[in-house]
Amino acid sequence: MDTRIFRNLQASLSGKRSDTLRSVGSSIIARFLLAFLLGQAITALPVSSQAASSPGLSVARDGTLLRNGAAYRGVGVNYTDAFLRPLRHPEDESYRDDFRKLADNHIPFARITACGFSASDYQLYLQDKEKYFKLLDGVVQAAEESNVGLIANLFWVSYTVPDLVGEPRDQWGNSESKTRQFMRTYTREVVSRYVNSPAIWGWEFGNEYNLSLDSPDFWRNLPPVNPHLGKMRSRGPDDTLTTEMFTSALSDFARTVREIDGHRILLTGNHIPRLSAYHMQTQKRPGADSPEQFATMLLRQSPGPFNPVCIHEGPLSPQLHFERRPVSYNELIQMCASAARSASKSLYIEEFITCPPKTECGIATRRESVNQVLAAIQANKVPLAAVWVYERKMIHDPNSLSFDDDTASVLQMIGDFNRKSSPAQGRAQLVHTSTDFQ
């Protein structure tokens, strides 16, 4: 979650779009499953038969999340600063101690940005690619040494690569564009370099691109302008994104990864769909999607081989939706998990916050939020989740958690959950090695 990326969107109390669904019964899912399967734009790619003995996470044909051939459950952290700090300050290796603390406290994995945030973050990559990758090597090797898994996000911000190559954002939908060419090159370089690392658990495309899709009022959802950060000097209609553009880019990303890595999980990095997502794609106007339409979009935005289905959502007070009734966080997770299972996929609560944006929460509030998430995970058999956010120091974030202050108890709650729910997996059991990347 980084609300700066979506500052032109109307935010809810959670800092996300306010038009997100909270509930639908699992019986509804069955009625649209056939239509969903026929409408898929990307054909699912088979999981490697060697996945059971390969590093990282994989999925069985029925959607079960696997690690070392066995069903897996774990709650980790988002750790966006792990690579951004050394990228901007090469002498900063504080990630080494941060990874050790995660491992010591039974937190098995971290979702990281294996890329820059703005176009200006890629200057080292363009000028001295080997030095750039040596910095990323340090992060991956430190995770290996601490037995912490990594979910590597390769294109965090939707406008960064287009800005870098001098194209508008809609070029994500053009397979011959410079944007897509850069995407394929960077993906091949990163995946090839770390494919044998036991630290890498999965590959992820971007972060919350789906919140920008199909907006009928494009001027309300344009990327920011800041030439000093390598961003374009102006924005216009060609900076919009559609579902078709997004799924085309996802398909290309999946094929590129699968040329090199045949088994690790592929992730979209999506937020939960906007409540009007179906209307905006099919009717080019906002409107209250039905429960069936919402579930259709949840799966449409996580097509083919992208499994588990990612959602970003934390607990809030019950809100009114559809039937004008309060809907709990557990009901929301139940709906998403049912939709994912209908497509033989699992669910990943990839970001859940412990404190509403622009507020400074007390520990009691944070702990209650985490309790709600952990209860929903347990009740709905959700295999993977990650809290937002660990040791964020590049900018102030009221959700930042650390073992060095009073928020340590929140992280310890997560570690205790991992230890008790999966004693053998509470701490990541990686093959201890120091990989020589090349």
DSSP structure string for 116-164 = -SSGGGGHHHHH-HHHHHHHHHHHHHHHHHHT-EEEEEEE-STTHHHHH
Q: Which two tokens stand for residue 371?
A: 């309790």
Residue keyed to tokens 């009717």: 283
Of the ranges 152-166, 323-337, 358-372, which one carries the lowest mean pLDDT score?
A: 323-337
Q: Which of 22 and 164 is assigned the larger pLDDT? A: 164
**pTM (two decimals):** 0.87
Strand-pair category, 65-67 with 57-59: antiparallel
Of 416, 266, 319, give the one whose Cα is nearest residue 18. Answer: 319
Average pLDDT value over all residues in the chain: 86
pLDDT for position 389: 98
- pLDDT at 42 > cutoff 70: no
pLDDT for position 321: 60
Cα torsion 415, 417, 420, 423: sign:
negative
- pLDDT at 48 > cutoff 70: no
What confidence tens digit (pLDDT) does each residue in 387-405 have?
999 999 999 899 999 999 9
What confidence tens digit (pLDDT) does each residue in 59-118 have?
999 999 999 999 999 999 999 999 999 999 999 999 999 999 999 999 999 999 999 999
Q: Which two tokens stand for residue 12?
A: 């809810």
pLDDT for position 47: 39
**209: buried, middle or exposed (CB in 10 Å: 19+, 13-18, 0-12)?**
buried
What confidence tens digit (pLDDT) does each residue in 183-236 have?
999 999 999 999 999 999 999 999 999 999 999 886 677 777 877 767 767 788
Q: Which two tokens stand for residue 221?
A: 């959802």
In three state form, how does the secondary structure of 367-382 look? HHHHHHHHHHHHHHCC
